[in-house]
């Protein structure tokens, strides 16, 4: 099977509300137009893959079990609205905080591209025809590192980053969108065959 294109989606601030560390499923709030965005991707056959840094694990703020419960809640809330995620990839590490095995310099904490590379190999994705959507410059850098396009959303940290810090961005986004649905509409409009 030919590799599929994907939209990689940051979780906190992009797919869900940025509320700080999500240490209980009840803290997870899916943003209003996120389910529709995922449904659009499902409808055109573009893989929808979450890529998220969760250093709260390395820092000892919550366990892997809690993270699993939070992500399961995300999947089921989206499913109730007819939206399907093709994968969720998590970096639980931090380079200097907490204890091993989570305290480590890893290749998967964005801005590094390890999560994208792992997803591409496991799910058969064409990175050069894929796009990452996120609310921080570190998301954009991860996309650039694998030849994917990037979209900055103005939800989460996005508005502040774009308004006050864009001069310091190491990578310029290919597009700036109000939210995930706007980003997905841009991806679908501008995709190459
Ligand atoms: Mg984020
Ligand atoms: Zn990592």
C-alpha of residue 173 to centroid of ligand 1, in Å = 15
pLDDT, tens digit (0-9, with 9 covering 90-100), for 19-55: 999 999 999 999 999 999 999 999 999 999 999 999 9
Strands 131-134 and 6-9: parallel
Res. 7: pLDDT tops 80: yes
Q: Burial-class residue 169 by CB neighbours within 10 Å (0-12, 13-18, 19+).
A: middle
What percent of the chain has a predicted confidence (pLDDT) above 70? 99
C-alpha of residue 149 to centroid of ligand 1, in Å = 17
12 assigned to active site: yes
Contact yes or no for 118/6 (Cβ under 8 A): no
User: In which order are the strands placed within the sheet that holds 47-53?
Assistant: 87-91, 47-53, 6-9, 131-134, 149-153, 175-177
135 assigned to active site: no
Q: Which ligand is nearest to the CA of 93?
A: 2
pLDDT, tens digit (0-9, with 9 covering 90-100), for 121-154: 999 999 999 999 999 999 999 999 999 999 999 9
């Amino acid at each position: 099977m030919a590799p599929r294109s994907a939209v990689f989606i940051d979780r906190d601030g992009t797919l869900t509300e940025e509320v700080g560390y999500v240490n209980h499923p009840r803290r997870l709030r899916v943003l209003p137009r996120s389910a529709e965005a995922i449904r659009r991707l499902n409808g055109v056959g573009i893989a929808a893959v979450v890529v998220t840094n969760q250093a709260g694990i390395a820092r000892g703020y919550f366990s892997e079990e809690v993270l699993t419960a939070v992500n399961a809640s995300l999947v089921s809330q989206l499913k109730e609205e007819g939206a399907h995620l093709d994968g969720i990839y998590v970096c639980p590490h931090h380079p200097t905080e907490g204890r091993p095995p989570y305290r480590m310099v890893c290749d998967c904490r964005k801005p590094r591209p390890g999560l994208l590379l792992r997803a591409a190999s496991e799910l058969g994705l064409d990175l050069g025809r894929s796009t990452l959507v996120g609310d921080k410059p570190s998301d954009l850098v991860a996309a650039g590192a694998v030849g994917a396009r990037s979209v900055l959303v103005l939800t989460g940290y996005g508005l502040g980053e774009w308004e006050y810090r864009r001069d310091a961005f190491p990578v310029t986004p290919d597009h700036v969108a109000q939210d995930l649905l706007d980003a997905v509409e841009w991806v679908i409009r501008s995709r190459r065959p």
